[in-house]
């Protein structure tokens, strides 16, 4: 079976976790701080705060941005449900906007149409690692006095106009789930250039505690902590952070390898008129966290039939990115988003992972072309 994805973890990560366990400090501690500093340096942000996952990162971002009961936040429906959930957690209403069919990212024109006097923020998703137009949405937010929060769950290692995703906006949230480009088992990170946000995020992730465990542990005098506001247990462990440090060291190499595989898919499929491929605009560099193709109306097989026939050949795929407004939890909003719905219904995510041997890429491509009744053979791009 060729899987849809798998994390790239080696003996380096195993040794780092092992060494950390032997120190006796396994919860949030020195490795977490080291990971935060190195991730901030990598992205170009002033600060980074490690948390338990990207959903908790988004939740805390909503809080420090001042989003609350009765507010509205515009976001795509075409995103994992955690995007909308983070808005709902703070008592606000997710307002779903359409996406661009070529990038799967928010459509600027439709977003502006959805702005009301209750709108407080735009939650901009870099879907499947493809950067969204941050400058355009920053300008829109400035024009309407809105907060811009980036859901960069899939975008570690992606770049926008020469800079890594993570330093363009006040709040950027990342995921280290096993389906992402680098992984800590699970985990998340928030980057920010604002010191006030940084200090409050550190409080909120640890029950609002005024002095963290490490400071008290290393002190030569007695310290009594205060809990200055209602916070959460959203901490990352030192074991996870130790793995994350090793993963971060490999991130650029992993992205480069993923892009080579994506180039092989592009080269083999670019001439097929009923397949639409992901498109990078000039100045946008995707990490290709996923490779999603769209099957047009003139495809010789339906999307679901295509996926089943590939599975019969031992190739795992996934349907297009979910549309949250059609999930039971949000059906009460009773809206229609025809572009997003069509993209979900006709898109397929193909296997992509590191290392993915050339013979596996070719097997996927040959199987696809056979099922789609395309005579041409895949053209392999030399690594």
Tell me the per-residue pLDDT of 337-378, one tens digit each, with 9 for 90 and over.
Answer: 999 999 999 999 999 999 999 999 999 999 999 999 886 555
- Please give the backbone phi and psi of residue 50, each rounded to the nearest 5 degrees, phi first: -85, 140
- Looking at every residue in the chain, the average pLDDT score rounds to 95
**What would the pLDDT profile of 98-118 be if each residue is shown by its tens digit?**
999 999 999 999 999 999 999
Whether the predicted pLDDT of 15 surpasses 50: yes
Give mean pLDDT, residues 165-192: 98
Q: Which of 180, 202, 246, 250 is the catalytic position?
A: 180
What string of H, E and C letters represents the secondary structure of the chain? CECCCCCCCCHHHHHHHHHHHHHCCCCCCHHHHHHHHHHHHHHCCCEEEEECCHHHHHHHHHHHCCCCCCCEEEEECECCCHHHHHHHHCCCEEEEECECCCCCCECHHHHHHCCCCCEEEEEEECHHHCCCCHHHHHHHHHHHCCEEEEECCCCCCCEECCEECCCCCCEEEEECCCCCCCCCCCCEEEEECCHHHHHHHHHHCECCECCCHHHHHHCCCCCCCCECCCCCECCCCHHHHHHHHHHHHHHHHHHHHHHHHHHHHHHHHCCCCCEECCCCCCCEECCCCCEEEEECCCCCCCHHHHHHHHHHCCECCEECCCEHHHCHHHHHHCCCCHHHHHHHHHEEEECCCCCCCHHHHHHHHHHHHHHCCCCCCCCCCCC
**Which residues neighbour 257 within 8 Å (Cβ) at sequence distance 6 or greater?**
354, 355
Token output for 266:
């592009």
pLDDT at 377: 55
pLDDT at 383: 42
Task: In whole angstroms, give the CA distance from residue 184 to residue 182.
Answer: 7
pLDDT at 227: 85
pLDDT at 53: 98
Whether the predicted pLDDT of 380 surpasses 80: no
Range 210-216, long-range pairs (CB < 8 A, 24+ positions) = 212/28, 213/27, 213/28, 213/29, 214/25, 214/28, 214/29, 214/30, 214/33
Whether the predicted pLDDT of 220 surpasses 90: no
Domains of the chain: 11-248 (3.40.640.10), 252-371 (3.90.1150.10)
**What would the pLDDT profile of 252-277 be if each residue is shown by its tens digit?**
999 999 999 999 999 999 999 999 99
**What would the pLDDT profile of 21-70 be if each residue is shown by its tens digit?**
999 999 999 999 999 999 999 999 999 999 999 999 999 999 999 999 99
Task: In whole angstroms, give the CA distance from residue 326 to residue 328.
Answer: 6
C-alpha dihedral, 38 to 40 to 46 to 48, nearest 10°: -110
Whether the predicted pLDDT of 206 surpasses 80: yes
Q: What percentage of the chain reaches a pLDDT higher than 90?
A: 91
Query: Is the N-terminal amide bond of 355 cis, ω within 30° of 0?
Result: yes
pLDDT at 375: 67
Which pTM was predicted? 0.94
Closest CA to 205 of 187, 218, 222, 185: 187
Task: In whole angstroms, give the CA distance from residue 221 to residue 90.
Answer: 38
Whether 180 is catalytic is: yes
Q: What angle do CA 6, 8, 12 make, to 5 degrees?
A: 145
**What would the pLDDT profile of 112-141 be if each residue is shown by its tens digit?**
999 999 999 999 999 999 999 999 999 999
**What would the pLDDT profile of 235-253 be if each residue is shown by its tens digit?**
999 999 999 999 999 999 9
Q: Give residue 213's pLDDT band: very low, low, confident or very high (50, 70, 90).
A: confident
């Amino acid at each position: 079976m060729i899987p849809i994805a798998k994390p790239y973890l080696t003996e380096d990560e195993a040794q780092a976790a092992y060494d950390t366990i032997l120190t006796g400090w396994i919860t949030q501690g020195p490795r977490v701080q080291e990971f935060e500093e190195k991730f901030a340096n990598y992205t170009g942000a002033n600060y980074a705060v490690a948390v338990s996952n990207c959903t908790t990162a988004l939740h805390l971002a909503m809080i420090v941005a001042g989003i609350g009961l009765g507010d509205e936040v515009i976001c795509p429906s075409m995103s994992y449900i955690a995007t909308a959930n983070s808005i709902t957690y703070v008592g606000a209403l997710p307002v779903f906007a359409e996406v661009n069919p070529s990038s799967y990212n928010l459509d600027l024109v439709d977003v502006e149409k959805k702005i009301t006097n209750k709108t407080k923020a735009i939650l901009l998703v870099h879907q499947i690692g493809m950067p969204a137009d941050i400058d355009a949405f920053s300008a829109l937010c400035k024009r309407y006095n809105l907060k811009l929060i980036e859901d960069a769950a899939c975008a570690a290692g992606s770049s926008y106009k020469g800079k890594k995703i993570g330093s363009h906006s006040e709040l950027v949230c990342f995921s280290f789930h096993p389906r992402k480009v680098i992984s800590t088992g699970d985990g998340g990170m928030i980057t920010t250039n604002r010191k006030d946000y940084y200090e409050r995020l550190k409080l909120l992730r640890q029950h609002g505690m005024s002095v963290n465990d490490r400071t008290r542990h290393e002190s030569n005098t007695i310290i009594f902590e205060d809990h200055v506001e209602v916070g959460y247990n959203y901490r990352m462990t030192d074991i996870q952070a130790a793995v994350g440090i090793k993963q971060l060291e490999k991130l650029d190499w992993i992205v480069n390898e993923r892009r080579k595989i994506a180039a092989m898919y592009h080269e083999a499929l670019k001439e097929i008129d009923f397949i639409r491929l992901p498109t990078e605009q000039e100045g946008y560099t995707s990490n290709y966290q996923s490779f999603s193709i769209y099957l047009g109306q003139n495809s010789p097989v339906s999307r679901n039939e295509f996926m089943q026939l590939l599975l019969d050949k031992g190739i795992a795929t996934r349907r297009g990115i979910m549309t949250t407004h059609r999930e039971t939890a949000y059906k009460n909003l009773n809206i229609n988003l025809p572009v997003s719905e069509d993209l979900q219904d006709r898109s397929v995510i193909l296997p992509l992972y590191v290392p993915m041997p050339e013979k596996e890429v070719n097997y996927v491509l040959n199987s696809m072309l056979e099922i789609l009744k395309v005579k041409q053979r895949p053209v392999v791009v030399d690594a």
